[in-house]
Amino acid sequence: MQDYNLTVVIERDEDGRFVAICPTLQGCYTEGETEEEARELIKDAIRAHIESRLKHNEPIYEEISSEKMLVTV
């Protein structure tokens, strides 16, 4: 087994649900009624995503960095 240290972004959508996204794993996201539920569900989604990639000999990209940026519009 290998450990993966990945960034997860949690947002609140227009319906008040919590959306959890793992940007490094394209298409890996989930949502929950609470922030805690979204956190638990994204862990399961990440595991399933990585297991699928490994099974199909697809690469798992390495996260280089993440940061918050201030953009004025």
Here the CATH number for the domain that contains residue 31 is 3.30.160.250
pLDDT of 24 reads 95
CB-based contacts of 28: which residues, under 8 Å, 6+ apart? Answer: 21, 22, 42, 45, 46, 49
Low pLDDT (below 50) residues in the chain: none
Q: What is the pLDDT of residue 33?
A: 97
Domain residues for 28? 1-73
Residue 46: its pLDDT value, please? 98
**Continuous segment of H or E residues that includes residue 19:** strand 18-21
**Number of folded domains that form the chain:** 1
pLDDT tens-digit series, residues 54-68: 999 999 998 999 999
